[in-house]
Amino acid sequence: MRCLSLVALPVLLALPLPGLALTAQEIEAATYLGGDLPDDQSALTAKLQILLDRAGISPGVIDGHKGGMSQSALRAFEAQRGLLVDGLLDFDVWMALGGPLAGPVMQGYTITPEDMSNIVGQLPTDYADLAELDWLGYTSPAEMLAERFHMDVDFLLLLNAGASFVEGETIAVAAPGGFLSGDVARIEVRKGESRLAAYDAFGAMIANYPVTIGSNSNPSPEGTMEVLAIAPLPTYHYDPDVNFVQGENTEPLTLPPGPNGPVGLVWIDLSKPTYGLHGTPDPASLFQRNSHGCVRLTNWDVEELAELVSEGTVVEFVQ
């Protein structure tokens, strides 16, 4: 995990006030008192998402919203822990996640000069224009920091209303914890759930991530294959004759690497030609769009997965 400059945040045990934005202190103070998660964005849902992330069951972006990714993560956690699988928060789930003993879920982060050096500004959308660049980096400090702490950009901005996101400024961020350790022997890409489950050699679920899979017109593959190679910071080879046509680009192009590239920060190559598991420049869209056949994860999830798999890891596509 990256080296971070962190400071403790004071915890104010106060109830949220109507009309005020959600705060880091409210997330820290949130506790489960029974019933389902609130329908609206809430401190409790944000805390739950952070605890699920720590447990290796990714909610995707941490945004405080009860939605498809959060509910599917709850079901995955229940299955991992042998609990009733219904996708609903209850006291058994809350205590299995650590509940009142989980420790701080928010932290302060002081922005460093190194953080500011990786910002490239607005990027073009046309692949031909992107192919002329050297690096598809972050477009703003907020985007970079949101991704580092597994957060939705708008949620990060909400928690830090009035922040300028400049060097030396301390902001409130989630504390999702470091990457998991272990060896993944088998992966299931579950098309019906839009999730990927990773198992060790004994059949225990190590991790579980939300994914985007292919559409009816550009379906993900079927059957069993294996990991051939793992490529961090991959370039992207666009071939309209093999995959799809972007804009008016009818000739092959090579796009440079970077978190905002079409395949994000990692490409895990599969034994079926042209298919892989990879990152995405738009993590909030995982449950809202289809891919062109490959399997998309958030950049941070695929970085973690790349540390857990190796050449020969079995990958099964199931319904």
Residues 6+ away with beta carbon under 8 Å from 95: none
Looking at residue 226, what DSSP letter applies? Answer: E
In angstroms, the CA 207 to CA 210 distance is 11
Residues 6+ away with beta carbon under 8 Å from 259: 136, 137, 138, 144, 147, 265, 279, 281, 299
- Yes or no: say if 270 and 307 are a contact pair by the CB < 8 Å rule: no
Cα-to-chain-centroid distance, residue 89: 21
| Residue 79: half-sphere exposure toward Cβ, Cα within 13 Å | 19
Bridge-partner residues for 208, per DSSP? 57, 197
In angstroms, the CA 271 to CA 306 distance is 16
- Yes or no: say if 284 and 150 are a contact pair by the CB < 8 Å rule: no
| Catalytic residue list | 278, 294
| 97 burial via Cβ count (<10 Å: 0-12, 13-18, 19+) | buried
Largest CA distance in the chain: 59
Among candidate residues 170, 144, 146, the one with its CA nearest the CA of residue 157:
146
Beta strands in the chain (DSSP E): 6-7, 106-110, 170-174, 186-190, 195-199, 205-210, 223-232, 236-238, 253-255, 266-270, 276-278, 295-296, 314-318
